[in-house]
């Protein structure tokens, strides 16, 4: 083969370094290996096994839920699927297989989905790495289902092979958020796309540099003003000149409510009935008792009347999880009873975690409350 032909056999650049291990230099990439690789293959196999139209119909019928996109037209018609859309598909895929796919196939899919989530933990110990190994072993045990269903003939796929190296790579180089290319693609929006849009599209490169420089200066000044105890008496910077980072740093609110309640002076008995919360009255009494400097006995508190008969009721609140580099997602949690103006009642389930053990052991030992508001 000629030297100028792509694909020739060349001496690798690391051959002169006897202590170099090229395998340790290839770090995991959650976005392109797991979501745009492994999950993409898995969804394709599921569509063949279940039926593309059947899977779309099941996805359409899923009820809306906070933090999960509702694919009202299914997923088969999507073109150029983004990483964010893949994440939403991963959240709903397993729920669409019950009753249509064999238990072996469901177990195989579940092991891959669990592995993808475990691989994204921001911290690991020997216990969580054992979880990853267990999910891979489960996948190896049940993956033949797809060969039996004739959706695949082999699993000699490089991105699936890369899964066996994730555990060792995490031990060598740390958690996968250090090497996930999603962070760099997010920065591409800040450092390239926004600068291009703000330019006049002619001789754009110097304008993009000036745009980034000014953004960083405004962000630094905002941070200094929030940190400095000295009142600078400087008028606030208009939002159109403020960087996105500046607005995020100045705002510490994670959970927000609308200014006015959806229902004013609603009777507590009606809340318990219409919201499907028969224990609301007792829970409210105990909560208010916990706020007092001197708490009363539980039996006495439950037998005492409330000092009020009505409450203001909100039907939703928004929650923005804190993220460093990813685009922040706003989740709207709803507690909407049936009314003449609504299509139906909706009560989203919320998990409240009260310690750090929940991150390494799923929901075991970390769930303080499991409730629907």
**What's the whole-model pTM score?**
0.68
Please give the C-alpha separations between residue 176 and each of 30, 31, 35, 53, 364, in angstroms, as whole numbers. 7, 10, 13, 35, 23
Write the CB contacts of 173 (distance below 8 Å, at least 6 apart in sequence): 24, 27, 179
Average pLDDT over residues 11-39: 88
Q: Based on the domain organization, do 77 and 160 belong to the same domain?
A: yes
Find the domain containing 268 and state its range. Answer: 263-313
Same domain, 243 and 281: no
- Domain stops at, among 252, 275, 300: 252
In DSSP terms, which residues pair with 349 in a beta bridge?
372
Structurally, the chain folds into a number of domains equal to 4
Residues 286 and 363 in one domain: no
Name the nearest CA neighbour of 26 among 158, 148, 141, 149: 158
Whether 137 shows a pLDDT value over 80: the answer reads yes
Q: What is the pLDDT of residues 123-136, one digit of tens each?
A: 999 999 999 999 99
175-221 tens-digit pLDDT: 998 888 887 777 777 778 888 888 888 888 899 899 989 988 998 88
């Amino acid at each position: 083969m000629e030297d100028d032909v792509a694909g020739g056999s060349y001496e690798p650049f690391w051959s002169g370094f006897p202590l170099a291990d090229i395998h340790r230099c290839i770090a995991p990439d959650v976005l392109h290996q797991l979501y745009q690789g492994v999950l993409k293959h898995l969804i394709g196999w599921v569509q063949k096994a279940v039926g593309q139209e059947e899977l779309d119909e099941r996805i359409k019928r899923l009820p809306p839920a906070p933090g999960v996109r509702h694919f009202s037209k299914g997923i088969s018609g999507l073109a150029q699927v983004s990483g964010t859309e893949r994440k939403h598909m991963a959240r709903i895929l397993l729920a669409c297989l019950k009753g249509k796919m064999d238990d072996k196939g469901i177990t195989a899919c579940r092991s891959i989905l669990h592995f993808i989530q475990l691989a994204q933990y921001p911290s690991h110990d020997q216990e969580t790495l054992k979880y990853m190994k267990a999910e891979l072993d489960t996948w190896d045990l049940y993956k033949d289902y797809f060969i039996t269903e004739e959706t695949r003939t082999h699993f000699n796929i490089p991105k699936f092979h890369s899964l066996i190296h994730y555990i060792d790579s995490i031990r060598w180089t740390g958690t996968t958020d250090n090497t996930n290319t999603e962070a760099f693609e997010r920065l591409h929006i800040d450092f390239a796309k926004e600068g291009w849009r703000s330019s006049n599209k002619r001789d754009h490169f110097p304008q993009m540099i000036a745009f980034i420089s000014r953004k960083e200066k405004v962000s630094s000044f905002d941070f200094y003003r929030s940190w400095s105890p000295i009142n600078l008496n400087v008028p606030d910077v208009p939002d159109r000149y403020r960087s996105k980072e500046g607005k995020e740093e100045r705002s510490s609110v994670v959970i927000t409510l609308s200014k006015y309640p959806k229902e004013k002076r609603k009777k507590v008995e009606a809340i318990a009935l219409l919201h499907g919360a028969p224990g609301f009255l007792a829970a409210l009494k105990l909560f208010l008792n916990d706020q007092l400097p001197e708490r009363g006995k539980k039996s006495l508190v439950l037998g005492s009347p409330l000092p009020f008969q009505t409450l203001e009721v909100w039907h939703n609140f928004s929650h923005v999880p804190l993220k460093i580099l990813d685009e922040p997602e706003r989740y709207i949690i709803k507690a909407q009873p049936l009314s003449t103006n609504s299509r139906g009642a909706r009560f989203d389930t919320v998990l409240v975690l009260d310690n750090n053990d929940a991150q390494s052991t799923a929901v075991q030992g970390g769930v303080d409350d499991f409730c629907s508001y």
